[in-house]
Structure formats: C-alpha cells, structure tokens
Chain A
Amino acid sequence: MTENRRHAVTGILLLALVAVLTVLFVKSPRITAEASMRFASSAAETEEDPDMAELLMLLNGE
C-alpha cells in the first residue's frame, strides 16, 4: 500500500468514526436539551439569578 493510499484510508476511517459517534448521539432517545436545562437550573439555584429563576418557574409550570 502506498503512503498516499494509507493516509487516505486512515482519513476515511477517522471520518467514519466521527460519523459513528455522531450517529450514536443522534440515535439516542435521551434529549440533550433536558440535560442542558437541568444544568441551567442547578446553576440558577446557586447564582440566584432572578431572570433564570423566573424562567425556570415558568418552565416548571409554577
């Protein structure tokens, strides 16, 4: 196998790995937005940000 071909094959394999990792993420039933919101809510609790506290109250239906 020539060096060029080896580089091309490695590059394609790396891109395939990125595709697999992304597909694993895309196929997931868990919603990232919820997790991000959980992080936001924990930060808001510690920061006592009135804007965020109000937003979270609305999001929680309070």
Chain B
Amino acid sequence: MAYSDKVIDHYENPRNVGSLDKSDANVGTGLVGAPACGDVMRLQIRVTDDGVIEDARFKTYGCGSAIASSSLVTEWVKGRTVDEALTIKNNDIAQHLALPPVKIHCSVLAEDAIRAAIEDYKRKKGLG
C-alpha cells in the first residue's frame, strides 16, 4: 500500500515527539490503544490559564499512518483552545493525510487521543 507524501513527511519528520511532565496541573495526558493492530499512542497537551493549548507532544508505537495522524494532531491543536481542539474529527485527519480506508482507524485513534488528553486536563482542573 502506498503512503501519501504527507504521511511519509510526518513519518520521516515527526513533529513534537516526546513528553510533557504529566504531574504538571496544566498538562493533560491521553493514552489510547488499538488492540486490532497493537498500536499505542500517548498525546499530551499543556494549556495556559486562558485555556489555550500552548504545547503538545506525542509518542506513538504503531504504523506510519498512526504516527502521522498523531504528529499532525499535535500541530493542529497548538494555539487552539481546548474547546476548539475538541472539534477536530478523524475525518479531517484522514482527509488531510489521504489515508486509505484500511488506515482510517489510525485517525480515529488520534481523535480519541486528543479527547482523552483534554478529558484528563479538565479532570485535573475540576472542569470535567
């Protein structure tokens, strides 16, 4: 199966790989997995007191599409408010990366990851 240029670009030059301090009150951590393919994804956001996502990091063990999906999401959420970030849908990710149907679940995983990170952040802040 051929990967799109955008997937290859994110795979070869992943943006924002790494971690944020998960004990920081302003950091939300999302951990999701897809037993179907054995992929695991950690996505973290650091939010300013105004509710703007100022930094995002990810670590993904999985295929190229899963890595590209999470890399793209970290780029997209930076500078957005948490509520804006919640509007990111897996379709947007899949479309942007031109994912084939068999790889749509990778974009679903990335959407789940950002949601989980925001939920974790809100829980910490008592907003959940």
Real complex partners, A and B? Answer: no
